[in-house]
Every structure is written in structure tokens, then in C-alpha cells.
Amino acid sequence: MMIVMNIESIREKGNAMTAIPSVLITGASTGIGASYAERFARRGHDLVLVARDTARMEALAARLRQENGVAIDIVQADLTQPAELATVETRLRDDARIGILVNNAGTAIGGSFIEQSTDDVARLVALNTTALLRLASAIAPRLAAAGEGAIVNIGSVVGLAPEFGMTVYGATKAFVLFLSQGLSLELAPKGVYVQAVLPATTRTEIWGHVGADVNTLSNVMEVGDLVDAALVGFDRRELVTIPPLPDAGQWDALQAARQAMLPNYGNQHPAERYRTVA
């Protein structure tokens, strides 16, 4: 009896998260998200596409269904609107076929901090951080219980570089990196893979949103190249994937320098340099 029950529970788990899990991709109507949709469809994954522009997602889905024979659902949602975001959260909580979340939807705004309106920066933070966080929070407990699955968070090298002059955007991407690293520490032991992908300049429409013509920029990566590289990192179960960075040792050195400081934070007294006046 015991054995039968165990087999049944394995079967149920197998049915819930099939050998090829469905992938929910936010910001799938264009750019990096649409490219992820194309690549995962080619790999035989069913998809759930999320964005605001249904017509674009319908066109993409029709082509990918025809080319790859996969099932594709479309969810129209403005992820800055709590009620619409909640529908996606519910889908992630309840749909046991979804085993991979690609948290890609994001945007950028132009101008310096004092030129950007308070409402605009708050909307940027809502999309790039709050929505991403809520979606990860919606799916993570289910994946952890299943002991498998993946969360891919799209950050940016700007999150490592205040010098690039996109302060609020970079701050949201620093959040994405930290969140991913922390979640990886928590979830990897439970069988859930978390990847942060940090693109640099990539040819998508995002540049139009900041008032830049991408054709005037140098060293622009094509979106397919970016996603193919990110998927190499995904297949290797890399924690942080920076497709344009030639020397991975530089990233490792940065992590080593950061980690070397960790034992030095636990001190009862302020450091000597703060104990002398002037």
C-alpha cells in the first residue's frame, strides 16, 4: 500500500511538472522576452506569454505554434497595475505545469534624476522590481515544494555601474541582482535554479523609450545572440550570466572581494578611523 501511494505521488508530481515544463515569460511581446519565447518554443516548451500588447503576442504565438507545435497561452497584463499583476501571480501559484519563470518585463526612462518625474520613477520601480519580486514570490514556494524548476531574472550591467548615469534604472537592476543571488542561496538547496542575466546594450525597443536611437550606439548586441548566450548560462546552471563580459574571472574577482569583507562587518566598536576627531 505504502509503495503504491509513493508511486502515485510520483506520478502526480510527474504530471504536475512534466519533463518539459511550461515557461511563463513576462515582457514577451517584443525584444528579449520575445526572443526567449522563440528559443523555449524551439526546445519544445509550452509557453505563457505576458505583456500589454495582445496583438503582438498573438502574432508571435501563431508563428511559434505553427513552427514548433507547442501550446501557447496569452495573458494581457500591465504589471504596474496591482489587479492585473495579481492575475499573473495567481496563474503562477496555481498552474503546476509552469516550471520556469522568465522575469523579463522591464523598461527604462530617459533624463537625469532631477528631470524624471516622481510618478515616472515610481512606475519604473513598480515594473522593474515590485512586479518581478511578486512574481518570484508567487511561484517560488510551489517550485520549492516540487523540488525543481527555475526562475530567470533579467537584470542589467547598469546595476553594477552607477557611472553609466541611469541611476534609478540601475538601482532597480542592482535589486534584481541581489534578489537573485539571495534567492539562489535559499532555493538552490531545495532544487530550484535561480539565474540573473545581465545584458549590456542590446538591440531592442527599450532604447526608444529613453529617447535614444540604438543605431547610433556602438557595441550593440543582437537580441538573439544575447538570449542564446543567456541560455548557455542557463543550461550550465550559472548563477550570474553576463553575456558581453569576455573575462569571467573579473566577475569572480568582484565576488571574491565582496566576500572577503564579510567577516569584517561584525565588530562591536567603530573602526579606528571613526574614533579620531577631524
Residue type, 254: L
Contact stretch for ligand NAP (CB under 6 A) within 11-19, 29-37, 112-120, 239-247: 29-37
In the range 218-277, which residues lie near ligand NAP by CB under 6 A?
none
Torsion, Cα of 241, 154, 140, 57 (10° steps): -130
24 lines the binding site for ligand NAP (CB under 6 A) = no
Numbers of helices and strands, H then E, in the chain: 10, 7
From 45-53, 59-67, 110-118, 262-270, give the range in contact with ligand NAP by CB under 6 A. 45-53
Residue 206 engages ligand NAP in binding (rule: CB under 6 A) = yes
Q: Which stretch binds ligand NAP (CB under 6 A): 50-58, 140-148, 232-240, 246-254?
A: 50-58
**Residues 6 or more apart in contact with residue 199 via CB below 8 angstroms:** 32, 154, 156, 157, 221, 226, 230, 243, 244
Question: Using the rule CB under 6 A, is 153 a contact of ligand NAP?
Answer: no
Catalytic residue ranges: 169
The count of other CB atoms within 10 Å of the CB of residue 268 is 4
Q: Which of 33, 170, 233, 243 binds ligand NAP (CB under 6 A)?
A: 33
Going from the C-alpha of 57 to that of each of 45, 65, 79, 241, the distances in angstroms are: 16, 12, 15, 27
- Does 78 engage in binding with ligand NAP (CB under 6 A)? yes
Asked whether position 195 contacts ligand NAP by CB under 6 A, the answer is: no
Bridge partners for 74 per DSSP: 49
Binding site for ligand NAP (CB under 6 A): 27-33, 51-53, 77-80, 104-107, 127, 154, 156, 199, 201-202, 204-206
